[in-house]
């Protein structure tokens, strides 16, 4: 059984430190035709196919994380050359671009080196992973010597060309303000953001302000009614725990999250089918309104909400 190691922290822990315009997926491709054909390389054995029912047989304890991002199908194959050397290709298909981005975002390193393959990829010796449309592709090289990077990139580029599709992050990711954002910190938590079931999924990005860490988030729902219900559930939960809810200037709500007591300040706004805001653990921070207003401006610019 193949071993598997997650490269980043899991969903609930990300606070510490749904669907977008391009979230819907086209009809799935025949996943078997996506594999590369490199000169001098032959496929070893058959292509193995895994579904949600047996994914655990291939990636062991990590299957639940992939299933949380609506995993649909995995195809895996190994390629060999003489006299030595091999590489394995794992192609994961998720239900849409949003969930493909989600699983990629949970595994990508906080820092590069990132490469322009598909929507984004990264390479380090023996490993090249990338996102393209709703496909998350992982390529592992073995005994490739000084040709490791060249071979893995050639294989990745062939696969990306075959996938084509929507080679960008979900549109909502573009709504995070650039000022103060930690580069490549964007992620997508598929469920229970900050440990709250009523918050379900959230896009997040990490920021530094006044030397402190902040997490900015955007929650995307099916319609305005769903978004309003999430906000009402959150406010009722907070009030039920005896916490005070402020509404500065009627612009957004501010309160301390009961799960984190005095070190969890939440600022949140709802408009249309979106909620957004920021969560931080230092009450001395100021300027929450900047993030609230800037995200609103960006949502308007992309026509994700109405004025």
Tell me what pLDDT residue 5 has.
Answer: 36
How, if at all, do strands 86-94 and 114-115 pair?
Answer: unpaired
- According to DSSP, the residues that pair with 209 across neighbouring strands are 212
- What tokens appear for 207 in the block? 């920021």
Phi, psi of 13, deg, nearest 5: -70, -15
DSSP reduced 3-state for 155:
helix
> Which domains, ranges and CATH numbers included, belong to the chain?
23-163 (3.40.1000), 171-301 (3.40.1000)
- For 82-93, how does the pLDDT look when each residue is reduced to its tens digit (9 = 90+)? 778 999 999 999
Query: What value, to the nearest 5°, has the Cα angle with vertex 14 and ends 11 and 19?
Result: 60
Contact 246, 283 (CB under 8 A): no
State the pTM of this model: 0.86
Per-residue pLDDT at 14 exceeds 50: no
- For 194-237, how does the pLDDT look when each residue is reduced to its tens digit (9 = 90+)? 999 999 899 999 998 878 889 999 999 999 999 999 999 999 99
Contact 217, 279 (CB under 8 A): yes
Query: What value, to the nearest 5°, has the Cα angle with vertex 9 and ends 138 and 90?
Result: 10
Per-residue pLDDT at 3 exceeds 60: no
CA distance 186 to 174: 10
- What tokens appear for 249 in the block? 């200037």
- Give mean pLDDT, residues 153-177: 95
CA distance 220 to 115: 28
- What tokens appear for 78 in the block? 């190994």
CA distance 224 to 270: 9
- For 86-117, how does the pLDDT look when each residue is reduced to its tens digit (9 = 90+)? 999 999 999 999 999 999 999 999 887 899 99
Tell me what pLDDT residue 281 has.
Answer: 75
- What tokens appear for 193 in the block? 């953001």
CA–chain centroid gap for 260, Å, is 24
- For 56-72, how does the pLDDT look when each residue is reduced to its tens digit (9 = 90+)? 999 988 999 999 999 99
Helix%, strand%, coil% for the chain, nearest 5: 30, 30, 40
Q: Which residues contact 144 (CB under 8 A, 6 or more apart)?
A: 85, 87, 126, 151, 152
Q: How far apart are the first and last CA of the chain?
A: 53
- For 18-37, how does the pLDDT look when each residue is reduced to its tens digit (9 = 90+)? 333 444 555 678 999 999 99
């Amino acid at each position: 059984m193949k071993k598997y190691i997650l490269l980043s922290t899991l969903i609930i822990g990300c606070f510490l430190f749904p669907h977008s315009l391009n979230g819907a997926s086209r009809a799935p491709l025949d996943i078997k035709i996506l594999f590369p054909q490199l000169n001098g390389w032959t496929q070893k054995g058959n292509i193995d196919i895994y579904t949600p029912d047996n994914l655990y047989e291939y990636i062991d304890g990590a299957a639940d994380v992939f299933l949380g991002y609506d995993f649909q199908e995995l195809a895996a194959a190994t390629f060999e050359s003489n006299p030595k050397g091999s590489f394995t290709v794992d192609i994961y298909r998720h239900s849409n671009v949003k969930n493909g981005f989600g699983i990629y975002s949970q595994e990508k390193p906080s820092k590069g080196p990132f490469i322009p393959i598909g929507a984004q990829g990264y390479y380090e010796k023996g490993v090249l992973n990338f996102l393209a449309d709703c496909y998350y592709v992982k390529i592992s090289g073995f005994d490739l010597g000084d040709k490791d990077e060249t071979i893995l990139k050639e294989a990745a580029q062939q696969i990306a060309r075959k996938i084509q599709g929507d080679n960008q992050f979900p549109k909502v990711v573009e709504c995070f303000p650039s000022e103060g954002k930690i580069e490549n910190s964007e992620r997508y938590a598929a469920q229970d953001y900050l440990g709250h079931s009523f918050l379900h999924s959230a896009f997040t990005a990490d920021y530094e302000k006044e030397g402190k860490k902040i997490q900015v988030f955007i929650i995307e729902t099916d319609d305005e009614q769903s978004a309003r219900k999430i906000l009402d559930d959150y406010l009722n939960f907070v009030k039920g725990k005896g916490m005070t809810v402020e509404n500065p200037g009627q612009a957004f709500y501010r309160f301390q999250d009961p799960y984190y007591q005095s070190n969890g300040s939440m600022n949140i706004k709802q408009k249309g089918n979106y909620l957004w805001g920021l969560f931080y653990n230092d009450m001395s921070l100021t300027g929450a309104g900047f993030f609230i207003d800037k995200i609103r401006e960006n949502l308007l610019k992309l026509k994700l909400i109405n004025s």
